[in-house]
Amino acid sequence: MEGLFRFFHYSGFYNVTPGHIVMILIGLLFIYLAIKKDYEPLLLVPIGFGILIGNIPFWEGIGLQLGIYEQGSVMNYLYYGVLKGIYPPLIFLGLGAMTDFSALLSNPKLLLLGAAAQVGIFITLLGALALGFTPQEAGAIGIIGGADGPTAIFIASKLAPHLIGSIAIAAYSYMALVPVIQPPIMRLMTSRKERLIRMKPSRNVSKTEKILFPVFAFLITAFISPGSIPLLGMLFFGNLLKESGVTERLGNTARNALIDTVTILLGLTVGASTQATTFLKPQSILVFILGAISFMIATACGLLFAKIMNLFFKEGDKINPLLGAAGVSAVPDSARVVQNFGAKEDPSNFLLMHAMGPNVAGVIGSAVAAGILLSILMETVGM
Amino acid sequence: MLLDVAAGLNFAIFPNDEASANMFTGVSIAIVGILIVFLSLVLLYFCMKLFIFLLEYSRDKHENIMKRVSISGRTGKENISEEVVTAIAMAIQMSREEYHDIEKTIITLNRITKPYSPWSSKIHGIRKSPHSNI
Question: Could you read off the pLDDT of A325-371 as tens digits, one per residue?
Answer: 888 878 788 888 998 898 888 888 888 888 888 999 999 999 999 99
CA-nearest residue to B14 within chain A is: A130
pLDDT at res. A352: 86
Per the CB < 8 Å rule, is A380 touching B25? yes
Domain count, chain B: 1
Q: Residue B16: which pLDDT band, with cuts at 50, 70 and 90? A: low
Task: Give which of A343, A341, A267, A263 is closest to A299, Cα–Cα.
Answer: A341
Q: Estimate to the nearest angstrom the gap between the alpha carbon of A202 and the chain centroid.
A: 27
Q: pLDDT: is A382 or A48 the higher one? A: A48
Higher pLDDT, A383 or A25: A25
Q: What integer best gives the mean pLDDT of chain B?
A: 75
Q: Give the pLDDT score at A383.
A: 43
Looking at residue B101, its pLDDT comes to 62
What is the C-alpha to C-alpha distance for residues A231 and A87, in angstroms, rounded to an integer? 10
Q: Considering only CB atoms, which chain B residues are within 8 Å of A135?
A: 22, 25-26, 29
Chain A residues with CB under 8 Å of B25 CB are 129, 135, 380
Residue B42 falls within a domain, yes or no? yes
Contact A273, A157 (CB under 8 A): no
Establish if B22 belongs to a structural domain: yes
Q: How far apart are CA A78 and CA A105, in angstroms?
A: 38
Can you tell me the distance from the alpha carbon of A343 to that of A375, in angstroms, rounded to the nearest whole number?
Answer: 42
Helix ranges, chain B (H): 2-13, 17-73, 82-95, 122-125
* Cα B103 to Cα A356: distance, rounded to the nearest angstrom: 65
Interface predicted TM-score of the whole assembly (ipTM), two decimals = 0.82
User: Which pLDDT value is given to residue B13?
Assistant: 53
CA distances from A201 to A45, A259, A349, B56 (A): 38, 32, 11, 18
* Cα radius of gyration (chain B): 43
Q: Where does the pLDDT of residue A234 fall: very low under 50, low under 70, confident under 90, or very high at 90 and above?
A: very high
Reported as a pLDDT band with limits 50, 70 and 90, residue B121 is: confident
DSSP, collapsed to helix, strand or coil, labels residue A1 as coil
- The residues on A that touch B, with CB distances below 8 Å, are 105, 108-109, 111-112, 114-115, 118-119, 121-123, 125-126, 129-130, 132, 134-135, 138-139, 206, 208-209, 212-213, 216-217, 220-221, 224-225, 361, 364-365, 368-369, 372-373, 376-377, 380
B18 occurs within a structural domain:
yes
Which band of pLDDT confidence, cut at 50, 70 and 90, is reported for residue B75? low
- Structural domain including B82 reads 2-101
Quick check: A366 and A121 in contact, CB under 8 A? yes
| Rounded CA separation A310/A316 (Å) | 10
B9 found inside a domain: yes
**How far does A266 lie from chain B, in Å, by closest CA?**
27
Q: What pLDDT is stored for residue A89 in this prediction?
A: 94
How do the domains of chain A map onto residue ranges? Answer: 88-192+203-382
pLDDT, tens digit, 9 for 90 and up, residues A237-260: 999 999 998 999 999 999 999 999
Q: What is the pLDDT of residues B47-73, one digit of tens each?
A: 888 888 888 888 888 878 877 776 665
As a whole number of Å, the end-to-end CA separation of chain A is 59
Q: Is residue A51 within 8 Å of residue A275, measured between CB atoms?
A: no
Q: Is the pLDDT of residue A149 over 80?
A: yes
| pLDDT tens track for A274-333 | 888 777 788 888 888 888 888 888 899 999 999 999 898 888 788 889 999 888 878 788
**Residue at B27 is within a domain:** yes
Please, are residues A327 and A110 in contact by the beta-carbon 8 Å criterion?
Answer: no
Return d(Cα A219, Cα A226) in angstroms, integer.
10
Task: Classify residue B66: in a domain, yes or no.
Answer: yes
Q: Is the pLDDT of residue B12 over 60?
A: no
Q: What is the pLDDT of residue B98?
A: 57
| pLDDT at B4 > cutoff 60 | no
Give the one of B25, B26, B37 whose C-beta lies nearest to A365's C-beta: B37
Number of Cβ within a 10 Å radius of residue B69: 10
Number of helices and strands in chain A (H, E): 22, 0
At A41 the pLDDT is 87
Chain A positions touching B27 (Cβ under 8 A) are 126
Radius of gyration, CA atoms only, chain A: 22
Instruction: Return d(Cα B36, Cα B41) in angstroms, integer.
Output: 8
Half-sphere exposure of A210 (CA within 13 A, CB side): 19
CB contact under 8 A, B34 and A361: no
CA distance A301 to B66: 48
At residue A197's C-alpha, the angle toward residues A191 and A203, to 5°, is 150
Instruction: Spell out which residues of chain A touch residue B29, defining contact as CB-CB under 8 Å.
Output: 122, 125, 135, 139, 372-373, 376-377
Q: Which residues of A348-361 are buried (b: 16+ CB within 10 A; e: fewer)?
A: ebebbbbbbbbbbb
How many residue pairs bridge chain A and chain B with CB atoms within 8 Å of each other? 100
- Compute the distance between CA of residue A168 and CA of residue A154 in angstroms, rounded to an integer: 10
Residue A197: is its pLDDT beyond 70?
yes
User: Per the domain annotation, does B90 fall within a domain?
Assistant: yes
Nearest CB among B22, B29, B43 relative to A376 is that of B29
Distance of alpha carbon B96 from alpha carbon B93, whole angstroms: 5
What letter does residue A273 receive in the DSSP assignment?
A: T
Beta carbons of A220 and B44 less than 8 Å apart:
yes
Model pLDDT, residue A176: 77
Angle between helix B17-73 and helix A135-142 axes, rounded to 10 deg: 40
Q: Of the candidates B19, B39, B51, which has its C-beta nearest A212's C-beta?
A: B51
Which helix (H) or strand (E) covers residue A168, if one does?
Answer: helix A164-176
Mean pLDDT on A104-110: 87
Q: What is the pLDDT averaged over residues A95-107?
A: 89
Mean pLDDT for chain A? 87
Predicted confidence (pLDDT) at residue B106 exceeds the cutoff of 80: no
pLDDT given at position A97: 94
Say yes or no to pLDDT of A87 above 60.
yes
Asked if B30 and A126 count as a contact pair (C-beta separation under 8 A), the reply is yes
- Flag if B27 and A380 touch (Cβ within 8 Å): no
| Beta-carbon separation of A129 and B43 below 8 A | no
User: Residue A307: which of A294, A296, A297, A321 has the closest Cα?
Assistant: A321
From the list A115, A110, A11, the residue with the least C-alpha distance to A364 is: A115
Share of residues in chain A with pLDDT > 70 (%): 97
In a domain, B46, yes or no: yes
pLDDT grade for B94, boundaries at 50, 70 and 90: confident
pLDDT in tens, A217-229: 999 999 988 888 9
CA distance, residue B33 to nearest chain A CA (Å): 6
